[in-house]
Amino acid sequence: MRPGAAPAAVLVSLSLLALGAGRPSAPLPDRMADTGGGTQLITAVAPGPGSTTGTVTWWDREDGRWVAAGSAPARFGANGLVEGTVRRQGTNTTPTGLYGMPYAFGIEAAPRGTAYTYRPVRRDSWWCQDGGSRSYNRWTEPRAADCRAAEAERLTDYRAQYAHALVIGFNYHRPVRGRGAGIFLHVNGRGATAGCVSVPRTAMRKILRWADPARDPHIAIGTGSGRTAITRH
């Protein structure tokens, strides 16, 4: 081949590669293995497993494609993220995976337009994290007799965080004792969470007005790459 010359086929291939390089990548949900089967999805993505911050985006499936409806900065567990299937309770890690969202709750009234079942928090509202209780990983009101107060959250103690929240279905339908309890999408507190995902209050209110249980929304939690990559869900 003459120096500086290239066959026409090579030039065409290089041109196509250049064109492809300028194309935007597919929306994140299109790159995921599973989105839950509904037409709404929340993605919570951290840069890596040791991260305590990242981004939450909520998506609508419209005319066969995923479109971002909004996004907000997010916070994760103080000790980062870990695969949900191996998580241990009390580790301050956020479980990665794809989960349903059974219902919403809050100390404050639901934002106008909320379609989700929204449970008001009262003085005797607790979330049981006691592995020896029949109410493990469940709301209990009042606190169940077999659920120790030291192993439960009185929801009114977290006025900022639980102003509004969505229950994340991690370890919820068939709870494994010791894997973890009380994982929510809730309003930011002062810093990283104990394992939940949190967003600013304005974003949480937007999400509650947006979420439609008839569209079967799920939340996918993961990292940008690696074993806990959100695209593996």
Q: Is the pLDDT of residue 205 over 50?
A: yes
* pLDDT, average across residues 174-179: 97
**Closest-CA residue to 82 (of 181, 230, 228):** 228
Q: Is the pLDDT of residue 203 over 70?
A: yes
Q: What is the pLDDT of residue 233?
A: 81
Q: Is 8 helix (H, G, I), strand (E, B) or coil?
A: helix
Q: What is the pLDDT of residue 23?
A: 56
Q: Is the pLDDT of residue 182 over 60?
A: yes
Q: Is the pLDDT of residue 98 over 50?
A: yes
Q: Phi-psi category of 162—alpha, beta or left, where left has phi over 0 and alpha has psi -120 to 50?
A: alpha
Please list, in sequence order, all residues whose beta carbon lies within 8 angstroms of the beta carbon of residue 82, skipping any fewer than 6 positions away.
49, 91, 93, 94, 95, 96, 228
Q: What is the pLDDT of residue 60?
A: 98
Q: Is the pLDDT of residue 88 over 50?
A: yes
Count the neighbouring beta carbons within 10 Å of the beta carbon of residue 9. 8
- Asked if residue 97 lies in contact with residue 170, where contact means CB atoms within 8 angstroms, the answer is yes
Distance from C-alpha of 193 to C-alpha of 80, rounded to nearest angstrom: 9
Model pTM score: 0.90
29 preceded by cis ω (within 30°)? no
**Largest separation between any pair of C-alpha atoms in the chain:** 86
Q: What is the pLDDT of residue 16?
A: 37
What is the share, in percent, of the chain residues with pLDDT greater than 70?
90
- Please return the burial class of 61, using the count of CB atoms within 10 Å of its CB with bins 0-12, 13-18 and 19+: middle
What are the distances in angstroms from CA 146 to CA 129, 133, 140, 224? 11, 5, 11, 41
* pLDDT, average across residues 186-193: 98
Instruction: Give the pLDDT confidence of 22-71 residue by residue, as tens digits.
Output: 556 899 999 999 999 999 999 999 999 999 999 999 999 999 999 999 99
- Give the DSSP H or E segment for 66: strand 65-75
* 5 confidence band (pLDDT: 50, 70, 90): very low
Q: Is the pLDDT of residue 123 over 60?
A: yes
Q: What is the pLDDT of residue 212?
A: 98
Q: What is the pLDDT of residue 25?
A: 84
What phi and psi, each to the nearest 5 degrees, are found at residue 199? -140, 165
Please list, in sequence order, all residues whose beta carbon lies within 8 angstroms of the beta carbon of residue 189, skipping any fewer than 6 positions away.
158, 160, 161, 198
What is the DSSP secondary structure assignment for residue 182, as one 8-state letter? Answer: -
Opening angle at CA 104, ends 103 and 105, nearest 5: 130
Distance from C-alpha of 78 to C-alpha of 93, rounded to nearest angstrom: 7
Q: What is the pLDDT of residue 24?
A: 62
What is the DSSP secondary structure assignment for residue 84, as one 8-state letter? Answer: G
* 11 confidence band (pLDDT: 50, 70, 90): very low
Instruction: Give the pLDDT confidence of 127-150 residue by residue, as tens digits.
Output: 999 999 999 999 999 999 999 999
- Asked if residue 171 lies in contact with residue 137, where contact means CB atoms within 8 angstroms, the answer is yes
